[in-house]
Amino acid sequence: MSMNGGPTVIDSKLRDEICRFGRSLFERGLTPGSSGNISVRLDGGGWLVTPTNASLGFLDPDRITRLDAQGSVLSGDAPTKEVPLHAALYQTRSAARSVVHLHSTHSVAVSMLPEVDPRAVLPPMTPYYLMRCGRTALVPYYRPGDPTVANAIKGLAGKYSSVLLANHGPVVAGDTLEAAVFATEELEETARLYLLLRGLNPRYLSPEQEQDLAKAFKLSFPDHSH
């Protein structure tokens, strides 16, 4: 905020970017109705977050909620009920500057399959999945808005930037809003590929190819060996 209490240029720009990305996600069917939410962490310790019961396709930048570092509302509409989910990722991933949560169809579908490994829900199908998402963890089902979901996220110890909430949808952190959106889209496309190829014995990237990517792009993947 500026000295007179009004929004700063950066604040206004971030609000506009949230609206722009939200509309793009909505118009491409990646989160229907009033589902999904987006947040951006601010330099002063607070954050901007989309309001409760707001469609990502029709956001008003002036009504986006501004929270202080303790999560109290400073301005805008009432925030999404998923604030504890976002807060847990920010607390455990210090580099995260944005969090995107969607109800994207294929990601939700994969979160309901019995065979997925909670430590690596999707196999290493493409290099860009590994580059943008790393590995994806699955956390058990929680009622939407249940504050105890934060404990499940904190239990991952900040090792994952992409998480699937069982029977609910993906939540992804990024070092910018754009990075978080792109990673969420990559996760959804990889989930779609997995469903298309399920049962066809596809060829995944080998451990050697994963190691090559990690070395070339300075990636770090959580261990999911038994």
User: Under 8 Å CB-to-CB from 107, ≥6 apart: which residues?
Assistant: 164, 169, 170, 187, 188, 191
Instruction: Give dist(CA 4, CA 9) in Å, integer.
Output: 13
Active site residue 160: no
* Catalytic pick among 128, 129, 141, 194: 128
Instruction: Give dist(CA 121, CA 192) in Å, integer.
Output: 13
Residue 20 and residue 40 in contact, taking contact as beta carbons nearer than 8 Å = no
Instruction: Give dist(CA 127, CA 120) in Å, integer.
Output: 15
**Positions marked active-site:** 128
